Amino acid sequence: MINQDADKPSSRARLVFAAMQLFAIKGYGGTSVADVLHAAQMNSGSLYYFFPGKQDLLLAVLDEYRSGIDEMLLRPAWQGVDDPIERIFALLARYRSFLVQTDCTYGCPIGSLALELHEPDPAVRAALAANFAAWVDAIEHCLKESAKDMVRGVDTRALAEFVLTTMEGAVMQTRIHRDVGYFDRAVAQLRNYLGGLLRHDKRRKPTPRSAVRRKARA
């Protein structure tokens, strides 16, 4: 007999959303199936109709994060921001707002799961990697849009991966120290580094011609 709750179009989405919220707050290991059912206000038959086990629910959560990166993360951060480099920092500013709103307890959901699941099943590891890759893809797209303004030879993929590493590390340190200053300093260093790769960094004042002549004579 098919559970009637499972016939509802929103049942699966309710379960996935409840799991997303709980995994972010309590972690994967700290969240029981009963917790998910309680949060979704559904019974066990509903869950097992869609997901044979808890790991299948985790995979659905990771797929939701990956497919929803534009709607959930990028679009809100980039609204009204045209400059591709500034879009990178607008995205980082969105993470900062999450940290401030939670008194520095927020953790990147994908990063937190990756740290918690020390040796994940290959399917879970692949899903985590796909999420990181989608994030890096978005940053690399911004960097490629700015490539004409950068010094020659910049590896945009490696640079995008470095931005991800900076964000994840900054979030982790902020959580440990309960001090958003760790995030701010990391982002400031990243901005300085990216500024050094730009031929015409708008933040820099032009060097006076007299200084240029003195340097040439030295």
Structural domains in the chain, CATH included, are: 4-65 (1.10.10.60), 68-197 (1.10.357.10)
pTM of the complete model: 0.84
Terminal CA-CA length for the chain = 88
Say if CB 91 and CB 183 are below 8 A apart. Answer: no
CA–CA separation, 77 vs 186, rounded Å?
19
Render each residue's pLDDT in the chain as its tens digit; 218 residues.
Answer: 345 444 444 889 999 999 999 999 999 999 999 999 999 999 888 899 999 999 999 999 999 999 999 999 999 999 999 999 999 999 999 999 999 999 999 999 999 999 999 888 999 999 999 999 999 999 999 999 999 999 999 999 999 999 999 999 999 999 999 999 999 999 999 999 999 999 765 544 444 444 444 444 54
Radius of gyration for the alpha carbons in the chain, expressed in angstroms and rounded: 22
Say if CB 51 and CB 16 are below 8 A apart. Answer: no
- Conformation bin of residue 178: beta by default, left when phi > 0, alpha when psi is -120 to 50: left
**Secondary structure in 3-state letters for the chain:** CCCHHHHCCCHHHHHHHHHHHHHHHHCCCCCCHHHHHHHHCCCHHHHHHHCCCHHHHHHHHHHHHHHCHHHHHHHHHHCCCCCHHHHHHHHHHHHHHHHHHCCCCCCCHHHHHHHHCCCCCHHHHHHHHHHHHHHHHHHHHHHHHCHHHECCCCCHHHHHHHHHHHHHHHHHHHHHHCCCHHHHHHHHHHHHHHHHHECCCCCCCCCCHHHHHHHHHC
